[in-house]
Amino acid sequence: MASGARPKVTIVGAGMVGGATAQWLALRDYADIVLVDIVEGLPQGKALDLMQAGPVLGFDTNVIGSNGYDETAASDLVVITSGIARKPGMSRDDLLKTNMGIVRSVTQQVVAQSPNAVIVVVSNPLDAMCHVAFERAGFPRERVIGMAGVLDAARFRTFIALELGVSVKDVDALVLGGHGDTMVPLSRFSTVAGIPLPELLPVDRIAALEQRTANGGAEIVSLLKTGSAYTAPGASIGAMIDSILLDQNRVLPCSVLLRGEYGIDGLYVGVPVKLGVGGLREIVQLSLSDDEQAALRRSADAVRDLVEAMQRIDAAE
């Protein structure tokens, strides 16, 4: 980043999640944004609309929309939200094959323009797409990170606060594992004003909140019917961008490539990490109970199944 210049953030995919991310980041007013999408006019229109909110809300963020990658050159951070949602009748492998191709293409193009960027992957299936981006980018693991745990923890925190009638500001929660129904909400490490959750709620209520958290995305999809969550995902991506570009060293649950940590090797799995300039600073290792460790392994196995499915798809081509 040039001295005195604002950080530059590229968001690939100007759909609902990409647009929400750009909005949250623009309001923070410390980085300039490039919105990229293959749909002509979409990123340009969203960029212009967002710029016109600046005089009203008091931010000077420069937002550029583009259908190509030249404008993304020398980005400090790249968010990849591109990909399609699973449609009725579509198999898991069909979804994987399509999104593998999209994420590979996007990664190759952003890396060519921004070889020193940190990449934050949001495309689904999240943990599998992290593998795709990591392999295509050729970056160290510190600079390819998946956004899921911040969102999952935010959902858990919301449900805890609603259950207890307390402010979400006083609720901290931790969710490990892959982004999906095998995620592992850790109630033992979740607190309200420092008080462990198991001291505030009975086991059955905690189990219900954990289950609702694991199904958090599906619940919203079933309500919206024609889309999926975007406001909370955008805010969660914003929290990660803040921690990285502002060097906040926040400890946030993120999907990172484990190399023996938590007894898992060679897989992207959600764990608590410290984020600062350059991306991943440290993986925070917790002492898990046997049950918690077993749940995390099951979640990692679900990620491994996706990675092996992608390998079969590649081998068949």
Q: Could you list the active site residues? A: 179
Pairing of strands 195-196, 191-192: antiparallel
**What residues pair up with 282 in beta bridges, in sequence order?**
274
C-alpha to C-alpha distances, 59 to 24, 26, 151, 295, nearest whole angstrom: 11, 7, 25, 44
Dist. CA 292–CA 287, nearest whole Å: 9
Dist. CA 51–CA 95, nearest whole Å: 34
The long-range contacts involving 166-170, CB below 8 angstroms and separated by at least 24 positions, are 166/192, 166/193
| For residue 125, cis peptide bond before it (omega within 30 degrees of 0) | yes
Dist. CA 79–CA 244, nearest whole Å: 12
Nearest to 78 by CA among 101, 108, 51, 53: 108
Contact 121, 151 (CB under 8 A): no
Q: Which residues contact 63 (CB under 8 A, 6 or more apart)?
A: 22, 26, 32, 33, 34, 35, 47, 48, 50, 51
Helices 92-113 and 290-316, packing angle to 10 deg: 80
Question: Which H or E element spans position 135?
Answer: helix 126-137
